[in-house]
Structure 1
């Protein structure tokens, strides 16, 4: 069984107000060309199909064309998609009954009741069945009825995901693939140790983190949400990353399609297929003269290191002429930000610690009230 693992298409994204439609269409056509060359049995998209929950008509058209061309070129290839945190699950669910008859499986919402289970798509090859478990992005409030019943108190992301997966009857003799869009952590690794991109939506205190130990139940876990390619404890539990850079923090990254091949049970192979964008996203640092000598048509953020005075209007005009797709111009200064209290970044702090630091300290009663509020907010998230 051979399949492509994609995620985080973010169709409709604008990069610092630059329209990326042409770039996204270019990379999606490249993915289709790779699929025609490799002839996978399935193409899996692990969430964040769109950049917004209510995508523009133009973004929907780009997505529709991608799926249509893929299906026409490979009529026997199954296409599976789940919603991510940027998508509207109910909207992605539209027409799923009709589409599934055409081997296009779109799942927008996780199980809502105790009786519901994960959507499972089974494909068959020479070694028997392969079960694909499709799990859209989960917030604890979405699945409380399904996994917590009458239990009171907060339900964390970690508990919600472990309970959802724990209910599934996964046959250990059959090959199984999980498709999921969450922030999974390898065993023994802290959230602060995971490199995150500027384009990713993060939660205060990393309350959305999920321990990835249960991923080992699957022969492969096709994950989405993290924009940089990354393994979660194993080459067979991994984030493929975005196919196109979504922020300047992704400058210089090689974007890929992950091709997975499953032979008989236990026989697995992962191959990385590089993608070449229409335009690179680049971060250039240097003095004005050095920067001008690197003129190109890529998306560029310029960091000027000149210490003397600059004629700002002239600098802007000349840089825009040298870089037609210029994103921004920054000046590097000698000043450095003071370290956070406690040595950590705000995103790495516990929510209660962050609130207390912001308020300048809180007594015992105030901390108890804050903790109650934080638990309530985490529950609805």
Structure 2
């Protein structure tokens, strides 16, 4: 089997090794942290920008999705909201930051649940000597999430596979709630999802989705709560070909994303056999939004360019890919119009792997335009199976 087959197999298997193991960036990326504490009968909600040196933007605090206070174009790395909660009532406080952080555009949204559970009144936690009976305040914990995006071409929607756990926790028991599009999904257990049974959420149609994950229960003997919001964006993936000074150039570009990290594969195949024609370009651990590859083709004829990216896009794992046919004549290259360009750029790894397995036995290599899933849960086993290899790869 030609090298092109093994290169594309790396797309299906190697890209899977990125998931599910934490954040995409090796450096600590900026993040929004939200928590609260009781001071007498009042709750003090504090929101802060972590891993940031300077900022300028807008802070918005909302209760039950209704805006209660907004700080516009401020440079503070931390802001607070103070109110007096009623005993026995839950208050979902949403905090959003939109603006610059260390010169880069960012948007974050996090939630904290404020709850006072004591009919004797509120008191300041941490040993307040003035209490007349302490209120039971739930400690805030940090949720660690991983997510992978899959298309469901049969119904034109997207699905999200979620894995989550509580950071630095030993013994956990409680309920995970995933909310998106006005719908709630609940899962009981120490973790959200598992090695063989991830939390699978239907996102519906569209290109932008907000997913809020919260946990309520006990961690190491303490009553806790925590929340984290994922902004899932489906990017635009553009593939192009051009003849440059007697050579040929294939390029891919991710648009509509803020940051990426993953692997690029760019190759040229025979459109009939899908065999590799020139050496395939493989770039690993790239943070570039665009990638190009120049190569020589001495023989006239029709060819197929294949461009794929697999990794994290704005913190969500996905595989993007497309193909473009072109023709080489005696005077240079000619781009041919591609068919079916209205399909989603997000691919499913398992379908590609199935075709690759057939290719190793003499079959055709997979076409990126047709490697979409036929079921909502397709591809999960393949992604999960790469976890052990990923751990080795990241610690090497």
TM-score, structure 2 length as denominator?
Answer: 0.23
For normalisation by structure 1, the TM-score amounts to: 0.24
The structure in which a higher percent of residues are strand is: 2
